[in-house]
Structure 1
Amino acid sequence: MAEAFADGWAWWVIGIAIGFPVLLVGITELLGALRRRNSPLAGPVAILRNWVIPAGALLALLVFAIRSPADQVWVRVVATVFGFLLILLVLSAFNVVLFANASEGSWRKRIPTIFIEIARLVLVVVGLAILFAWVWEADVGGLFAALGVTSIVIGLALQNAVGGVISGLLLLFEQPFKIGDHLDTGGVKGRVTEVNWRAVHIDTGSGIQIVPNSTLSGASFTNMSEPDGPYAATADIAFTTDDPPHEVVALLIDVAEGLPLRLPRERVSVEYSGKGAYSVSIPVASPADASRALTVYLSWLWYAARRRGLALDGDSTDPIAEPARLDAAIEDLAPALHLAAEDRDLLRTTSRLQRFGAGETVLGSGVVPDEVHFIVEGAVTLSLEVQGSRLDFAGAERGDLVGHTALTRQRSQAVTTAAGMLTVLTVPLETVDALVRARPRLAAEIGESLDMRREQAETALGELGLTRSMLTDR
C-alpha cells in the first residue's frame, strides 16, 4: 500500500473517484441555473458536463492511475476522443461569446450563419489534423497539399457557380435589406419573404419571385423600406384643362386626407405639371400599405370628382344625375318627408343625387353643414372621434336624415361614413328650412331624431367612462 501511494497512482485513483462526482454535481447545478435563466452558455456547459469531463476522467485514469503506455491503442483512442470534444467545447464557447449576445446592427449580427458554419468546419478539420499529428504521429502535410490541389481544380471547374454563391454570400454579409423589406429590382417589386445563401424570395402580390443573390449583388436595386419613416404612395392623375387647378388640388387633398391608411401627422402633397396632369403623394406607414391606399383613394376620387362636377380622366358624366332618377328618389322619399306636390317641385329644382363609395366620409366632425342628405340607397355609420380613435355609436338607413346640425347651425361632433355603396338626396339648407316651416310634423320628427342621436352618443361614451370633453378637437 505504501508503494502505491509512493508511486502516486493511488492518489490519482482517489482524486478521480472523489473529484469526478463532486465536479459533476457542481457543473450540474451551474447548468440548471443557466437553463432557468435561458442563458446561451447552457450549451457549452452541457457539453462540458456530459462529454468533456467524463472523457477527461477516463484519460486521466488510463494515463496517470493505470499508467498505460502512451503508444497503446486505447490510450490514443481516448486521447483522440477527448481532444475532439475539447475542440467542440472551445468552438461552442467562442460562438456564444461572439455571436449569441450580438447587438442589432453590429458586424457580429450581420455575419451570415453559413459563414460561421464554414469557419467552424475549417477549424474542426485543422484541429483534428493537429490532434492526429500529435496523438498518432500522422503526417498530415501531404493531406493538406492534396486538399489544396483538389480545391483549386474544383474551383476552376465550378468558377461560375461558385462565383455566384460567393457574391451572394457577400450580399448576405452586407445585409442591405432584411425579411419584410420591400425591394424594387427594376424587374421585380415586392416584399422580401425569405433570404438564403442562394436566392431572395420576393412576394410580388401575384406569386413568389425567386431572385438569385448574384443577380442582386451585380446590379442596383431600391430598398423602399429604408430609411425608417413614412413611405409615399404616389399616383399620377389626369383631369381636363377646363377644370380649375385650385379646385382639383383641393379635391385631391380632401379625398387623400380621409384615407384610413394615411399617416395622420403627415401632409399630403399635390403637384400640378400642366395640361391637366397632377401627381399625388400620400404618406403611409410602409410600402405594404401603398397599393391598398391607392386602390381606395382612386375609387373614392371617382365619386368625389363627379359630386364636384370635375372631369377625372377627361370624363365628368355621372349616370346618377339623370332627371328620371332624381324624380324616382323624390317620390320614394315623399311619404317619409310628408311632401306635397309643391314640395316635390321645390326639391326637383334645388336638390341633387350624389353617390359615395364604401368607407368614404359623408360628413366630417367639427363642421357646420350647409346642406342635408336623405338616404336613398345604402346606410351610414355614425362615429365619435375619441382620443385618436373612432367610436361607432349609431347608424342610419334608407329614408333617414344625415346632417341634423345644419338646422341648428351647430358644428357636427359625429363623423358620418358610408357603410357601403351609398346614394343620397342632397338638399340645400334653404330648401330644408322651407320644408320645415311648411311641415311642422317634419320639423318635430327631425328634432326627435337629433335628440335620439345625442342620447346614443352619450350612452356610448358613458359605457366607456368617457365624456364629451374627450372628443378629438378638429
Structure 2
Amino acid sequence: MTLLDEGWVWWAVGIAVGVPLLLVVLTELVNNLTRSGNPAAGPLRLLRNWIVPVGALLALLIFAFQTDVDNPWPRVVATIFGFLVILLVLSAFNVALFANAKDGSWRERIPTIFVEIVRLLLVVVGLAFLFQWVWGADVGGLIATLGVTSIVIGLALQNAVGGVISGLLLLFEQPFKIGDWLDVGSVRGRVIEVNWRAVHIDTGSGIQIIPNSTLSGASFTNLSQPEGPKHVTTDVKFTTDDPPHEVIALLVEVADSLPMRVPDERATAEYAGAGAYSVTLPIASPAMEQYALSLYLAWLWYAARRRGLALDGDATDPIAEPGQLERALAVVGPTLHLGEQERELVLSTARLERYGTGEIVQPTGVLPSDIRFVVEGHARMAVEVAGGRIDFATVESGDYIGQTALTREKTLTTVVAADVLTVMVVPLETVDALVRQRPMLAAEIGASIELKRKLASQAIADAGIVRGTLGSR
C-alpha cells in the first residue's frame, strides 16, 4: 500500500493547494468590490480573512490528521467556524436587504437599532443550536431561564421600556426627520435630535424635550411636509369705508414683494366682511414664518398710509402733519433750484411718502409718472439679474429717484429702501414746468441718468454677466 492510497494525503494536498488558490480569488474579488464601493466586499472579506482559514484548519484536524472527534480541539475549532458562518450569513442578508435600499422604501425606514436587535437574537439562537450540535449541551433550560428573566425585568422596567419601544416605533415610522418643523400643542420648533427616549425640539427660546411615549400618543403637525411652499395666514383689519378691492390689491401687492415669497407663487387675500381680511403668504420654509409675518405687517403699515387706507382703523400719518412738506422742501430745494414762484408750485402739488426698510421704492420696467426726492434716509439702487440683484449705487438725501419720467422711458433699475425712507413725490407735470423755467435742472437730471447708467453697466461687467448696455435708469 502506497502513501497515495492513504485518504488523509489527498485531503492534505487538496487543502494545501486549494486554500491558497481560493484566497487569491477572494482577494481579487474583495479588491474589485472595494474599489467600486460595493457593500458585498464586507462579507467576502470575512470569508477570506477568517472562515476559509478556520475551515481549512478544521478540515486538517478532522480529515487530514484524523483527530478523534472526542478531542476538545476539533470541537473548539468547529465552534469558532460555526460562529463565523453565522456571522457571514447574517452579514450577507444585511447586504442583500438593506445595503441598497431605495430612499423611502420600508427597508430604508427601518431603524438600525431594529436590525441590530434582530441580529443579536439570531446570533444567540444560532450559538445555542451550535453548542447543542457540537458539544451536546442542553440549551432548553437556559432558554427557559432567559425567558423567565426577561419577563421579570420587563415588568420591573415597563415604564422605561415603554418609552424605548415608543421611540423605536417612532423611529421606524419616521413621521418626521431631523430639521423638520413640528407643532405639538404648545410647542412649536425645529427637530434637532431624535433618540430612543425623546425628541429634542429647538423652539427658538430653548430646547424642548418631549418623551417619545408622549409624542406617539398625541397628535402633532409636521409643518415641513409635504415638500413645497408653506402657506402662512394672517388676519388684518381696515375700516368699512376702505374700498374692498383696493384693500385686496394692496394686500396682495405687499405680500408679493416679500423676499421670502416662493417664486412663481402668488399671495392671496380674501374679504370676510366688516373690514376684516385674510391674507395667505406662500413662503419657502416654516423657519421664516414669524419673520415673514413681522415684515409683512410692517410693510403693510407704510403701504396703507401711502394709499390713504386705514389699517387697524387708523389712517393718520405723522409726515402728513402741517409744516412737514415745508421742512422737506428745505432739504430738496437746492437740488431743484427753486425760486419763490417755483416753491409755491411744488408745495401745492407735491406730497410726502415713507417706505419701510427693504421695501421696493421703484421696481424695474415701469414708466414713472413722478420723480421722488429723498428727504431722510437712503436707498440702494440695483439691477435685476438671474439669481438676485446687484447693488451699484446709494441714493442719499437730496438725490432723486425715477428721473426717467422726464425722458418718458421705463426704468431699468430697482430702488430699495435701505432704512426708513422719506421721499417727496413731485408729479411729472410739475417737473416739466420746473425744467422749462430752469434749463439747468434738465441738464443735471440728464447727467444723473447717464452716471447711474454707467454705474449699473460697470456693476454688471464686474459680476461677469453679459448683458446689453443699459439705456436708461
Contact 2:193/2:200 (8 A) holds in 1 = yes
The CA distance in 2 between the partners of 1:191 and 1:218, in whole Å, is 20
Q: 1:156 to 1:293 in 2, by over 3 A?
A: same
Contact 2:457/2:469 (8 A) holds in 1 = no
Query: CA offset at residue 221 of structure 1?
Result: 1.3
The CA distance in 2 between the partners of 1:383 and 1:177, in whole Å, is 41
Secondary structure of the 1:413 match is coil
Q: Deviations over 1:434-472 (max 9, x none)?
A: 22122111111001111222333344455645334999x
Secondary structure of the 1:390 match is strand
Q: 1:173 to 1:465 in 2, by over 3 A?
A: closer
The CA distance in 2 between the partners of 1:316 and 1:407, in whole Å, is 32
Which residue is 2:38 aligned to? 39
Structure 1, 250-259 or 46-55: larger mean CA deviation: 46-55
Structure 1, 440-449 or 172-181: larger mean CA deviation: 172-181
Query: CA offset at residue 158 of structure 1?
Result: 2.5
Which residue is 2:211 aligned to? 212
Contact 2:377/2:420 (8 A) holds in 1 = yes
The CA distance in 1 between the partners of 2:331 and 2:391, in whole Å, is 28
Counterpart residue identity of residue 7, structure 2: G
Indicate yes or no: 2:270 matched with 1:275: no
Which residue is 2:237 aligned to? 238
Which residue is 2:15 aligned to? 16
Which residue is 2:311 aligned to? 312
Which residue is 1:466 aligned to? 466
Which residue is 2:61 aligned to? 62
Q: Deviations over 1:116-137 (max 9, x none)?
A: 1110010010011011111111
Secondary structure of the 1:283 match is strand
Query: CA offset at residue 140 of structure 1?
Result: 0.2
Indicate yes or no: 2:138 matched with 1:134: no
Which residue is 2:379 aligned to? 380
Secondary structure of the 1:39 match is coil
Contact 2:269/2:280 (8 A) holds in 1 = yes
Contact 2:435/2:441 (8 A) holds in 1 = yes
Indicate yes or no: 2:189 matched with 1:190: yes
The CA distance in 2 between the partners of 1:243 and 1:390, in whole Å, is 35
Which residue is 2:202 aligned to? 203
CA-based RMSD of the aligned residues comes to: 2.2
Mapping for residues 113-128 of structure 1, pairs under 5 Å: 113-128=112-127
Mapping for residues 45-444 of structure 1, pairs under 5 Å: 45-387=44-386, 389-444=388-443
The CA distance in 2 between the partners of 1:137 and 1:346, in whole Å, is 113
Secondary structure of the 1:278 match is strand
Contact 1:233/1:291 (8 A) holds in 2 = no
Q: 1:287 to 1:469 in 2, by over 3 A?
A: farther
Counterpart residue identity of residue 210, structure 1: I
Query: CA offset at residue 339 of structure 1?
Result: 1.7
Query: CA offset at residue 79 of structure 1?
Result: 1.2
Contact 2:403/2:449 (8 A) holds in 1 = yes
* Number of residues of Structure 1 aligned to a counterpart in Structure 2: 470
TM-score by length of 1: 0.93
Counterpart residue identity of residue 347, structure 1: V
Q: 1:470 to 1:209 in 2, by over 3 A?
A: farther
Counterpart residue identity of residue 303, structure 1: Y
Counterpart residue identity of residue 234, structure 1: T
Counterpart residue identity of residue 168, structure 2: L
Query: CA offset at residue 96 of structure 1?
Result: 0.8
Structure 1, 383-392 or 115-124: larger mean CA deviation: 383-392
Query: CA offset at residue 289 of structure 1?
Result: 2.8
The CA distance in 2 between the partners of 1:226 and 1:426, in whole Å, is 46
Q: 1:354 to 1:197 in 2, by over 3 A?
A: same
Secondary structure of the 1:114 match is helix
Contact 1:461/1:468 (8 A) holds in 2 = no
Q: Deviations over 1:353-389 (max 9, x none)?
A: 2221222100112222112111122322223333464
Query: CA offset at residue 349 of structure 1?
Result: 2.8
Query: CA offset at residue 86 of structure 1?
Result: 1.2
Contact 2:412/2:470 (8 A) holds in 1 = no
Structure 1, 176-185 or 309-318: larger mean CA deviation: 309-318
The CA distance in 1 between the partners of 2:125 and 2:154, in whole Å, is 20
Counterpart residue identity of residue 26, structure 2: I
Secondary structure of the 1:323 match is coil
Counterpart residue identity of residue 452, structure 1: L
Secondary structure of the 1:209 match is strand
Unaligned runs of 5+ in 1: none
Structure 1, 346-355 or 143-152: larger mean CA deviation: 346-355
The CA distance in 2 between the partners of 1:105 and 1:460, in whole Å, is 46
Counterpart residue identity of residue 147, structure 2: G
Which residue is 1:28 aligned to? 27
Query: CA offset at residue 268 of structure 1?
Result: 0.9
Query: CA offset at residue 139 of structure 1?
Result: 0.2
The CA distance in 2 between the partners of 1:326 and 1:39, in whole Å, is 76
Query: CA offset at residue 298 of structure 1?
Result: 1.8
Q: Deviations over 1:405-428 (max 9, x none)?
A: 211222222221112332212212
The CA distance in 1 between the partners of 2:347 and 2:395, in whole Å, is 24
Unaligned runs of 5+ in 2: none
Counterpart residue identity of residue 106, structure 1: S
TM-score by length of 2: 0.93
Q: Deviations over 1:150-209 (max 9, x none)?
A: 122222223333233223322222222222222212221122222222222222222222
The CA distance in 2 between the partners of 1:275 and 1:186, in whole Å, is 31
Query: CA offset at residue 254 of structure 1?
Result: 0.9
Counterpart residue identity of residue 403, structure 1: G
Counterpart residue identity of residue 208, structure 1: I
Q: 1:41 to 1:438 in 2, by over 3 A?
A: same
Counterpart residue identity of residue 262, structure 1: R
Contact 1:235/1:281 (8 A) holds in 2 = yes
Structure 1, 339-348 or 423-432: larger mean CA deviation: 339-348
